[in-house]
Amino acid sequence: MAGVVLETLGNKKLSILIISLLLILTVFFLVGGLVAPAPNSVIPTTAINCYDEDKLWQIGESKPFLPRGKYACKSLHDLHHDKAIKDKKLDANQIVFSQQIPFVKNNTALHMSRWFQNLIGVIDLDIEFKQENPYPEEKTPEMLVEARLYARFKEETDKDWRLIASSKEQRTLECTIEKDKREDGQAYNCELIPFFELGSVFYDYYLINVRLPVSERNDYNKIGSLSDLHSIFIIQNGGFTKVWFSMKTVLFPMVVAALCWFWNRVASQGRPTNLTERTLFALGIVLSIMNCPVEWFTLFFNLPFMMLLNDIRDGAFYAMLLSFWIIFVGEHMLDQTERNRLSAYWRHLAVVLLACTALFIFEMCERGRQLVNPFYSIWSSEIGSVAAFTFIIVASIAACVYFLFLCYLVFKVFRNIGSKRTSLLHMSSFRRKYYSGLIFRFKFLMIVTLLCAALTVIFFILGQVSEGQWKWGDEDINIEYTSAFLTGVYGMWNVYVMALLALYAPSHKQFASEADTDTISQEEEVQLTQQSISTSEKSAANISLVYAYFQNFQAWAKGGKRNMAGQVN
C-alpha cells in the first residue's frame, strides 16, 4: 500500500531533509540581517519658498520653479518677515514651494536610482500661533493643494524638465497646541499630510512644486500662519532591492522544479487526484507567480503599475495560503465524515475570500487611482482616512482571529489522534514503534504549520502598520521593519511550501513488504489485501493515509489473537 513520502521516508533521510531546510531558512534570515540594508530610507527636506512674480501659475503656465541651479527661482527666506511680503507687493497666491530630489550633498548633486523602486511623499507644515491670523481650531480645516511633479534624466539640462503629473487635491490639516503655549511665534503640532506615491523611480531627478492658494470667497487654506513647508520622502533602499531581486531569481526555478516533480509523482499513480494534492499544487502555482522576478524589467522600462501588481500577487498568495491551511488541517480530522470535498469548507473559505476581496478593493481604490493621479490618496479626506484606518484595524484583528481559529483546529487534530492511540496497544512492538513515529511526524508538521501561520500574521500586521504610519500622520509610531524579518518570512514561505511538496508527494515504497506477507497466514493475507484495496480507494480521495491506517488499527485490534507481527519498510 503506497503512502506519501512523509510516512515512508526513513528517519535518517528525513532528518537530513529537515536539517537542510532549516539551514536554508537560517541563510535567509542571515542575508537579511547581515547583507541587506534597512528596507526603506526616509529623506526629510525643507521646500524653497519661491514667488511667482509674473503670476505664471495662476494663468496656467506650466513653467517649473527650480530651487537651485542656473535657472533657480526668486526665493523668500522668511514668509513672515520678508520685505516683499511686508510691503504687500506679494500675496500668498504667488508663493510656490519648490523641492528637488535628491538634494545636493557635499557639493555633489546626487541622483535617484531605479533600484529605489518606489517613492512616497508626505507633507509636514509649520504653523505658528498668531492672534491676527489664527488656526481655526473649532473645526478641522480643509485646504486646497495644487501640485505639479516634474522629472528629467541626468543627461538632460534644467530646460528639459517634463511634467509627469499635475493635480488639485483637498487635504485636511489637524493641528493642536497646548494652552500654556498660546503665544505669538509658538508652533502648532500638526499631523503629516499624505502627498503623493509613485510606483516606479524611472528618472534621475524629480521636482515638486506646491501652491496653497488662498481665496477670500471660501475657507480654503485659512490654516493660520504658515512659516515653512517640509516634505518627507520614503524610498526603498537600492541595496535591499538587489537582495530581494536575487532571492526571487533563485527561489523561482527551485519552486517550479519542486512543483513539477510533485505533480509528476501524483500523475504517475494513475488515479484521480485528491483535494489536498490539488490545493497544494495550487499553492505552489500561486507561490511561483509571486516569486516570478518580473521586477527586473523596472530597471529598463517605466512600469508604474509594478507596485500594484506586487500587492495583487501578495494578496493572492495570502488568500491561497490561508485557504490551504484550513483544508490541510481539516483533511487530518480523522472523524470528519465529509472529506475530499471542497464544498465541506465553503464557510471557512468564503470568509477568507471575502476578506481578501475587501483588501483588493481597498488596494484598487488607492493604488489603482494613483496610476492615473499619483497625488490621489484615500487618506485625503476625513471620511476616507477613518475608513482606511478602520480597514487596517479590522484586517489586523481578522488575521489574529484566523490564527486563533487555526490553533483550535490543530488542537482538535491532536485530540483526535490522541483518542486513537489506544489502538497501538494491540500491535506488535515493530508496528507500534512505526505508527508512534508516524504520529510524531504529523504532530511536528502541524506545529511547524502553526509557527509559519504566526509569523505570517505578524508579517501582515506589521506591513499594514508600517505602510500606514506615515499616512495617518503619527510620527511617534516607530515600526522596526527589519530586513532580516522580511527576507526570513519570505524564505520561510518558500521553504515551507517546498517541504510540503516533497513530503506529501506519493511515495514509491509499499506499506507491506514481501517479508511481512511470509510471516502471516493465508487468511490474514487475504484480510490485509482487502484492507489495502479499501485503503487505496480512500487514498485516492485523501492524501493523508493516517485515517486509513487507523481503520486498519481498529480491524487488527478486534482480531487480537492474531499474530500481526511484521516489519515495515
Place of cell 505570517: 456
Whole-angstrom Cα distance, residue 366 to residue 392? 14
Look up the CATH architecture of domain 2-39+240-557.
Up-down Bundle (1.20)
Contact partners, residue 325, CB within 8 Å, separation at least 6? 406, 449, 453
Q: Where are the domains of the chain?
A: 2-39+240-557, 40-236
pLDDT at 518: 37
| pLDDT tier at 412, thresholds 50, 70, 90 | confident
Whether 212 shows a pLDDT value over 90: the answer reads no
Name which residue leads in pLDDT, 470 or 544. Answer: 470
Which one is predicted more confidently, 446 or 215?
Answer: 446
Sign of the torsion angle spanned by Cα atoms 214, 216, 220, 222: positive
The three grid cell numbers given for residue 129, joined into one nine-digit string: 500661533
Grid coordinates representing 169 are 487635491
Model confidence at 14: pLDDT above 60? yes
Contacts of 482 by beta carbon, 8 Å cutoff, 6+ apart = 32, 33, 38, 39
**Using 50, 70 and 90 to split pLDDT, how confident is the model at 364?**
confident
| Widest Cα–Cα separation across the chain | 113
How do residues 60-107 score in pLDDT, each as one tens digit? 777 899 988 888 888 887 776 655 555 556 677 888 999 998 887 777
Confidence of residue 290 (pLDDT cuts 50, 70, 90): very high
pLDDT range class, residue 566, cuts 50, 70, 90: very low
Q: Look at phi and psi of residue 150 and say left if phi exceeds 0, alpha if psi is from -120 to 50, else beta.
A: beta
Mean pLDDT of 193-198: 89
With cut-offs at 50, 70 and 90, classify the pLDDT of residue 432: low
3-state secondary structure of 541: helix
76 - beta bridge partners?
A: 49
Give CA–CA dist 208/448, Å, rounded.
49
Summarised one tens digit per residue, pLDDT across range 302-318 is 999 998 999 999 999 99
Q: What is the DSSP string of 350-416?
A: HHHHHHHHHHHHHHIIIIIHHTT-TT--TTSSHHHHHHHHHHHHHHHHHHHHHHHHHHHHHHHHHHH
Query: Which region, left, alpha or beta, applies to residue 102 given φ > 0 means left and ψ of -120 to 50 means alpha?
Result: beta
pLDDT, tens only, 459-515:
888 877 766 555 555 555 444 567 888 899 999 999 999 999 988 888 776 544 433
Classify residue 422 by its DSSP letter: G
Predicted TM-score of the model (pTM): 0.80
- Measured distance CA(359)–CA(91) in Å, rounded: 45
pLDDT for 556 equals 44
User: What is the percentage of the chain residues whose pLDDT exceeds 90?
Assistant: 23
